[in-house]
Structures are given as C-alpha cells and as structure tokens.
C-alpha cells in the first residue's frame, strides 16, 4: 500500500466515525428540535419542555419521561425514591434479534433508570403521596418483573403508611422477554391493590397517559378508584388492527382515545397536563375526610419482617456514605464515621427488632450495593447480625463495617 492510499484510507475511516457520531446525537432528547406527532409542527425542544411537552400548535400532549413528570407533580425537594436499585435479570435467557440482557443494558444507559418505572414518596401541594411513574422510553414502558415488584412494594408501603396512591401509566403492556413472569405481575399488583383499596379503604388514582395498552390496562390501569387520563391519550387493551381483523369491522376514528372511553364510561375525568397537579390535590383534599379510611395492615404471611421504612432508611444512609467516600477518598473524616455510626444504629435497630436467635460467624466487609441488599434479605430471614468495628490496618486508617454470621446455637 502506498503512503497516499494509506492516508486516503485513514481519512475515510475518520469521516465514517464522525458521521456515526453525528447520527447518534439527535436521538431522544439530545436534539434541539422535534416534530409534533399530531400536527407536524416543528418545535424547539427547550421551549417545549418549558411548556410541559404540550404542542404550541395544536395542544397535543407529547410524551414525557418519568423524571419530568415527577418534577411537575411533586413539590420541589420532597421526592424520595423507593427501591431505586432493584434491577431486572434475564430468567428465560431470551434472545430475539438481540439478547434481552443487551436490550436492558442499552435502555438503562439511555434512560439512566434500572427499569421502566420510578416509585417513591413526596409531597403533592403539601399532601404526602406515594407515586409511581412509568417511563415509556425504557423498552416501551413494558412491565417486567421489576416493574411489577416495585409497584407492589409501593402499594404495600402506601398501605402500611396510609398514603394516597397515584400511578402514572405509560406502557406498551407486559414485557414479552420475561414471558409468564411478567404476566404474573398483573395478578400480584391487583392482589396488593385489593388490600389497599378494600381492606384499608385508601384512595388510589390512576393517571393514564398516551399510550396505556395491554397488561397495564388489564390490571392496575383500570383499577383506580378514580381514573384520570390525558387528552387524546391512546388507551386500550389489544391494538386497533387486531380488533379490526378479528371483528372484520371498521372501527370509529376516535376508537381507543381518552375522549371515546370517557364517553363510554370507562374514565372519570380527562385532565390537561397543566391542571393535573391541581386536579390531583383537590381530589385528594376532597377525600381527606373519608370516614372509613384507615391504615391498612398487610395480611399475615405476606408481611415482611423488616419494615419498608427501615429498609429504605438503611439504604439511603448507605448511599450517602458511598457518595461521601467516593467524593473525598483521601479524607475519610469524622463526618464519614458518624454516618457509618448512623448505619450501625439503623442496623442495630434492625437486629434489635428480632434478636431472639443468635447465628454464625464469617467476617466479610460490606462493600457494595448487592451486599447490602443481600444483608437486608438475610436479615429478614434472621440469619445475620451486624456489628460495627473500627479496623485500623497499617496502610490506611479506615472505619469498616463488618457483619457477622453467627451460627444458630439451638
Ligand atoms: Zn401539534
């Protein structure tokens, strides 16, 4: 190969790479401009976001991601996420054109979420609520076992704490890559909702946004005490084409839109996005004095041994420690050790709550998230006891957390 040919080759490779880069950039929210799906008007993304993703031309409600929704619904600084680290696995080792595991990784990188939902608590106009928001950008908001589990935990938490529950749905249905496991989430959530609604008499509002289809409509989407929807949202179970082919009939144009469903009695209210927060807070206020409302109890046998609150507190404290220690690796100072102590205390409380049995002995260091999860899980099974110790090795002085497994003596 001559020198010139080599240079030419290099130039081509470089050109290809830059082309690829520029191609990937405008995807998602990174581009500056977008087009309205309804009227085709070109919109400046920054202004669109300021307008809660509502088209300036026709008032069409474009899709929003979960974070934006939370920002709009929850009072600033009051959002406390729950179960942030629950992440999906691949039980069927499913593979279509691409491996399910790879799809998950891509979606996680793209959205920064572990799965297609964010759950947590926060204040809505000063009223404490439990909120779950689905994210359509994560594999079409499909419901896998993680989504189901997070929603169920949120419902159980709301039941225990007597909170009003709001679920904002945006989904294409159950996640086919997890097969039957994702279908079973429908029953699981419905069962948890039964306790929440019928035993504890608490208020559940479901907010259906575009699109809400498949398994979501077939379970918690339509189980709300009150069902709100956004204007012109697509809500349905099976797709339009499927129904048309099965019935061999032409369906009306507005079939499966929020307005059509409201007209036929499936929805309670259509609320434009601008008024959603106000509508929710007014409704909750209206239900505040509901006479039969009480704090629910999760039926015996399902009840978890470690309460959600304690579990979550421990997690959060642990994250703070992690964050602090990663920020200033060099200075493991007093602040650090005090938060370690806080964790110790919270775990001590955990242990105190059921220390009837003393169990075994292997020393291991607490290092990462998985271990803390494992510990909490084991803690629930009464296998592990916590101990704080300040290890001082020669190399670096650092307080370390140790947990001891003490063999059952009985
Ligand atoms: Zn438009």
33 CA distance to ligand 1 centroid (A)? 13
273 CA distance to ligand 1 centroid (A)? 15
Segment 168-212, tens digit of pLDDT? 999 999 999 999 999 999 999 999 999 899 888 899 999 999 899
What is the predicted pLDDT for the residue at 37? 87
Segment 321-339, tens digit of pLDDT? 666 666 654 444 444 444 5
47 CA distance to ligand 1 centroid (A)? 14
Domain co-membership, 269 together with 170: yes
52 CA distance to ligand 1 centroid (A)? 13
pLDDT at 385 over 50: no
63 CA distance to ligand 1 centroid (A)? 12
Number of H helices, E strands in the chain: 13, 12
Burial label, 129 (beta-carbon count in 10 A; 0-12, 13-18, 19+) = buried
237 CA distance to ligand 1 centroid (A)? 26
Domain co-membership, 254 together with 325: no
pLDDT band for position 119 (50/70/90)?
very high
233 CA distance to ligand 1 centroid (A)? 14
Q: Is residue 405 part of a domain?
A: no
157 CA distance to ligand 1 centroid (A)? 39
What DSSP character marks residue 298? P
What is the predicted pLDDT for the residue at 19? 52
What is the predicted pLDDT for the residue at 405? 40
Domain co-membership, 41 together with 128: no
Q: Which two tokens stand for residue 71?
A: 């920002």
35 CA distance to ligand 1 centroid (A)? 8
25 CA distance to ligand 1 centroid (A)? 24
170 CA distance to ligand 1 centroid (A)? 20
pLDDT at 404 over 70: no
Q: Are 83 and 96 in contact (CB under 8 A)?
A: no
CATH number at residue 276: 3.90.226.10
205 CA distance to ligand 1 centroid (A)? 28
Q: Which of 217, 230, 236, 229 is nearest to 174 (CA)?
A: 217
34 CA distance to ligand 1 centroid (A)? 11
What is the predicted pLDDT for the residue at 280? 95
> What distance in Å separates the CA atoms of residue 93 and residue 117, rounded to the nearest whole number?
22
- Bond from prior residue into 211 cis (ω within 30 degrees of 0): yes
Q: Please state which of the ranges 68-77, 162-171, 249-258, 350-359 shows the lowest mean pLDDT.
A: 350-359
pLDDT band for position 290 (50/70/90)?
confident
pLDDT average, residue stretch 135-161: 92
Segment 220-263, tens digit of pLDDT? 999 999 999 999 999 999 988 999 999 999 999 889 999 999 99
> What distance in Å separates the CA atoms of residue 32 and residue 18, rounded to the nearest whole number?
19
71 CA distance to ligand 1 centroid (A)? 23
282 CA distance to ligand 1 centroid (A)? 29
Domain co-membership, 377 together with 234: no
What DSSP character marks residue 226? E
pLDDT band for position 216 (50/70/90)?
very high
Query: What is the Cα 303 distance to its own chain's centre?
Result: 22
Segment 366-381, tens digit of pLDDT? 445 565 666 666 555 5
What is the predicted pLDDT for the residue at 346? 58
> What distance in Å separates the CA atoms of residue 77 and residue 349, rounded to the nearest whole number?
28
Segment 80-96, tens digit of pLDDT? 999 888 889 998 999 98
Domain finish residue from 288, 313, 345? 288
Query: What is the Cα 124 distance to its own chain's centre?
Result: 18
Q: Which two tokens stand for residue 80?
A: 């406390």
What is the predicted pLDDT for the residue at 200? 85
62 CA distance to ligand 1 centroid (A)? 9
> What distance in Å separates the CA atoms of residue 273 and residue 397, rounded to the nearest whole number?
54
- The pTM of this model reads 0.69
Mean pLDDT across the chain: 78
- Residue 241 lies in domain: 63-288
Q: Is residue 389 part of a domain?
A: no
pLDDT at 21 over 70: no
230 CA distance to ligand 1 centroid (A)? 15
> What distance in Å separates the CA atoms of residue 255 and residue 234, rounded to the nearest whole number?
9
Domain co-membership, 206 together with 81: yes
Domain co-membership, 175 together with 261: yes
Q: Are 378 and 338 in contact (CB under 8 A)?
A: no
Higher pLDDT among residues 48 and 357, named by residue: 48
> What distance in Å separates the CA atoms of residue 369 and residue 201, rounded to the nearest whole number?
36
Burial label, 3 (beta-carbon count in 10 A; 0-12, 13-18, 19+) = exposed
Q: Is residue 79 part of a domain?
A: yes
110 CA distance to ligand 1 centroid (A)? 26
Residues near 400 by beta carbon (within 8 Å), at least 6 away in sequence? 365, 366, 389, 390, 391
267 CA distance to ligand 1 centroid (A)? 24
Higher pLDDT among residues 301 and 387, named by residue: 301
Q: Whose structure tokens read 């075994």?
A: 360
Q: Are 355 and 386 in contact (CB under 8 A)?
A: no
301 CA distance to ligand 1 centroid (A)? 51
What is the predicted pLDDT for the residue at 204? 95
> What distance in Å separates the CA atoms of residue 236 and residue 291, rounded to the nearest whole number?
34
What is the predicted pLDDT for the residue at 348? 57
Higher pLDDT among residues 363 and 158, named by residue: 158
Q: Which two tokens stand for residue 295?
A: 């704090």
Domain co-membership, 220 together with 345: no
What is the predicted pLDDT for the residue at 38? 87
Domain count for the chain: 3
Domain finish residue from 232, 257, 288? 288
Handedness of CA 395, 399, 401, 404 (dihedral sign): positive
What is the predicted pLDDT for the residue at 289? 76
Q: Is residue 8 part of a domain?
A: no
64 CA distance to ligand 1 centroid (A)? 15
53 CA distance to ligand 1 centroid (A)? 10
44 CA distance to ligand 1 centroid (A)? 12
Domain co-membership, 222 together with 77: yes
Q: Are 204 and 35 in contact (CB under 8 A)?
A: no
Buried b or exposed e, range 46-60, using 16+ CB within 10 angstroms: eebeeebbbbeeeeb
56 CA distance to ligand 1 centroid (A)? 6
Domain co-membership, 247 together with 342: no
Query: What is the Cα 273 distance to its own chain's centre?
Result: 21
> What distance in Å separates the CA atoms of residue 205 and residue 63, rounded to the nearest whole number?
20
């Amino acid at each position: 190969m001559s020198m010139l040919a080599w240079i030419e080759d290099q130039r081509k490779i470089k050109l290809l790479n830059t082309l690829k880069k520029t191609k990937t950039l405008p995807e998602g929210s990174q581009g500056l401009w977008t087009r309205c799906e309804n009227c085709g008007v070109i919109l400046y993304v920054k202004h669109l976001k300021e307008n809660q993703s509502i088209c300036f031309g026709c008032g069409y409600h474009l899709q929003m991601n979960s974070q934006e929704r939370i920002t709009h619904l929850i009072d600033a600084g009051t959002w406390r996420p729950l179960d942030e680290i629950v992440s999906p696995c691949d039980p069927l080792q499913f593979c279509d054109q691409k491996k399910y595991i790879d799809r998950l990784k891509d979606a996680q990188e793209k959205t920064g979420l572990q799965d297609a939902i964010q759950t947590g608590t926060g204040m809505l106009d000063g009223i404490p609520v439990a909120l779950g928001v689905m994210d359509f950008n994560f594999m079409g908001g499909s419901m896998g076992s993680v989504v189901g589990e997070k929603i169920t935990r949120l419902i159980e938490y709301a039941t225990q704490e007597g909170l009003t529950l709001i679920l904002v749905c945006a989904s294409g249905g159950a996640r086919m890559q997890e097969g039957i496991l994702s279908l079973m989430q429908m029953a699981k959530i419905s069962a948890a909702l039964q306790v929440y609604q019928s035993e504890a008499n608490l208020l559940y509002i479901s907010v259906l946004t575009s699109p809400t289809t498949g398994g979501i409509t077939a379970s918690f989407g339509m189980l709300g005490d009150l069902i709100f929807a956004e204007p012109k949202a697509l809500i349905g179970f099976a797709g339009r084409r499927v129904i048309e082919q099965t019935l061999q009939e032409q369906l009306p144009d507005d079939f499966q839109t929020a307005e059509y469903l409201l007209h036929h009695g499936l929805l309670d209210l259509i609320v434009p996005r601008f008024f959603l927060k106000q509508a929710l807070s007014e409704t909750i206020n209206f239900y505040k004095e509901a006479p039969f409302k009480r704090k629910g109890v999760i039926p015996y046998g399902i009840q978890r041994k470690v309460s959600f609150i304690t579990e979550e507190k421990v997690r959060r404290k642990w994250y703070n420690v992690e964050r602090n220690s990663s920020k200033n690796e060099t200075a493991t100072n007093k602040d650090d050790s005090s938060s370690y102590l806080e964790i110790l205390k919270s775990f001590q409380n955990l242990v105190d709550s059921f220390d009837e049995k003393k169990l075994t002995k292997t020393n291991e260091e607490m290092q990462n998230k998985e271990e803390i999860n494992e510990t909490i899980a084991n803690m629930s099974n009464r296998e592990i006891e916590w101990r704080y110790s300040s290890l001082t090795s020669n190399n670096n002085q650092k307080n370390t957390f140790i947990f001891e497994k003490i063999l059952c003596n009985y």
